[in-house]
Amino acid sequence: MDLEKIMIELEKKNPGQPEFLQAVKEVLESIEDVIKENPKYQAANIIDRIVEPDRVITFKVEWLDDKGNVNVNRGYRVQFNNAIGPYKGGLRFHPSVTLGGLKFLGFEQTFKNSLTTLPMGGAKGGSDFNPKGKSNAEIMRFCHAFMAELYRYIGPDTDIPAGDIGVGGREIGYMYGMYKKIVNTHNGVFTGKGRNWGGSLIRPEATGFGTVYFAEEMLKTRGETLKGKIVAVSGFGNVSWGSVIKATQLGAKVVTISGPDGYVYDPDGISGDKIDYLLELRASNQDIVKPYADQYPNAKFVEGRRPWEVKCDIALPCAIQNELNGTDAQNLVNNGVLCVSEGANMPCTPEAMEVFLKAKILYAPGKASNAGGVATSGLEQTQNAMKLSWNAQEVEQKLHQIMVNIHEACVKYGKEPDGFVNYVKGANVAGFIKVADAMIDQGVI
């Protein structure tokens, strides 16, 4: 396999999609040996087939704002690969959304979903719609208009969307409502649904909980625990929230959260009532990072900077792709960081990843460490299919076990001769083998 040649061809075929190429390159580098050692993958031309999405759907979304103006956004669904199960993955509403960005996320999702051990293919979708500053009625009209088009491409055995940046319980409610009205079937096609209409307990917390459980497993390999550790978290959305709660429960002290405009450093730790206060701010659609620093006098707001300059034992990047670069990684290493567990998708740049691998710290890529979200989506689907609902303890115990299993798979495929575990390689190889073998079993279709 000539990686350089493959990447040149891919660049020609996918111009202006740097994040997609970044994600593909990382996986191909990891699986190079597996391809060499297994001629069946070359014979079946798996590489060319696995980097091409099965289907890309784009559509127009027209909606009226509160002033009566007509707005137009673009909607997308990238159905990347359904070799091991129906397409599954979140929807992102953010002005930065592009086709290339969603292809990167759909590609990653394919391997992540494979790692969960559950039968789910990979997909991603969304829109360049900006939910910031919109009224509730505007959000509802947009979600309805988006679903009036997307409904024809999804189904409980075809493609099951969920949340991502800018899409939480409220948006899923509005989208599911429109879907149900059009198809006249209550089939649970989304995950992340409200508790009263088919949602699973623990799904809101699951991604963050899983990210911390994965960190806990990594720490165990060095005889460490979370107790007494200082943790830096970025963002304060769904994933950051779950991570802050679980890290605190396991005895660590979380000292940062962040937004696009800067970060808050709270040496006393962000926990208890402080988290409730943050949630209140979030629910009221306000900026949260700066008001937090105004409310708690020991906390300080550091404008225009990222939390990675703070001395910490554990870093949990939970906001957005490429939010932690090579310099940030070097800062963390110089400050003695032990463990980095990605809550977001691809938050570390390739340069940052290289720094962590060279320093041989415990570093987990998002497709392994944030897989608890989609895994619990899988558990939501299972409960829907059984028409039963499990209690919180039962769901969390299953989530925990899945994270332990993903960690084991990464160790199996990522352990190097000196004992160091390259979790990037482990996750990519484990995720790849299952999908590639399923594609071979099913033939050229």
Q: Is 238 in the site for ligand NDP (CB under 6 A)?
A: yes
Contact 398, 12 (CB under 8 A): no
Q: How many residues bind ligand NDP (CB under 6 A)?
A: 23
* Dihedral-angle region of residue 307 (phi above 0 means left; psi in -120 to 50 means alpha; beta otherwise): alpha
Q: Is 430 in the site for ligand NDP (CB under 6 A)?
A: no
Cβ proximity to ligand 2IT: between 141 and 203 the closer is 203
Among ligand 2IT, ligand NDP, none, residue 88 binds (CB under 5-8 Å by kind): ligand 2IT
- Crossing angle of the two packed helices 273-283 and 238-249, in degrees rounded to 10: 170
Tell me, residue by residue from 299 to 328, as one string, x for binding to ligand NDP by CB under 6 A and - for no binding.
-------------------xxx--x-----
- CA nearest neighbour of 180 among 164, 163, 194, 165: 194
Contacts 24+ apart (CB under 8 A), 305-308: 305/262, 305/263, 306/234, 306/258, 306/263, 307/232, 307/233, 307/234, 307/256, 307/257, 307/258, 307/263, 307/265, 308/232, 308/234, 308/332
Q: Which residue do the tokens 């006098």 mark?
A: 297
Using CB under 6 A as the binding rule, the residues of this chain from 58 to 117 that contact ligand 2IT are 88-90, 109, 112
Given 124, 193, 253, 367, which residue is catalytic? 124
Distance CA 287, CA 254 (A): 20
Using CB under 6 A as the binding rule, the residues of this chain from 32 to 61 that contact ligand NDP are none
Among ligand 2IT, ligand NDP, none, residue 248 binds (CB under 5-8 Å by kind): none
Cβ proximity to ligand NDP: between 35 and 244 the closer is 244
Q: Is 172 in the site for ligand 2IT (CB under 6 A)?
A: no
Q: Which of 237, 378, 426, 431 binds ligand NDP (CB under 6 A)?
A: 237
Q: Is 104 in the site for ligand NDP (CB under 6 A)?
A: no
Contact 126, 44 (CB under 8 A): no
Using CB under 6 A as the binding rule, the residues of this chain from 357 to 376 that contact ligand NDP are 370, 373
Using CB under 6 A as the binding rule, the residues of this chain from 206 to 225 that contact ligand NDP are 207
Q: Is 163 in the site for ligand NDP (CB under 6 A)?
A: yes
Contacts 24+ apart (CB under 8 A), 140-143: 140/174, 141/63, 141/64, 141/65, 142/61, 142/63, 142/73, 142/93, 143/171, 143/174, 143/175, 143/178
Distance CA 276, CA 305 (A): 25
Among ligand 2IT, ligand NDP, none, residue 89 binds (CB under 5-8 Å by kind): ligand 2IT
Among ligand NDP, ligand 2IT, none, residue 253 binds (CB under 5-8 Å by kind): none
- Where would I find the H helices in 60-202? 99-115, 136-150, 169-183
Among ligand NDP, ligand 2IT, none, residue 260 binds (CB under 5-8 Å by kind): ligand NDP
Q: Which of 30, 349, 377, 381 binds ligand 2IT (CB under 6 A)?
A: 377
Burial letters for 344-356: b for 16+ Cβ neighbours within 10 Å, e otherwise? bbbbbbeebbebb
Task: Give yes or no: 290 in active site.
Answer: no
Q: Using CB under 6 A as the criterion, which residues of the chain lie in contact with ligand NDP when the complex forms?
A: 163-166, 207, 234-239, 258-260, 318-320, 323, 343-345, 370, 373
**Looking at the annotation, which residues are catalytic?**
124
Q: Using CB under 6 A as the criterion, which residues of the chain lie in contact with ligand 2IT when the complex forms?
A: 88-90, 109, 112, 162, 164, 191, 345, 373-374, 377
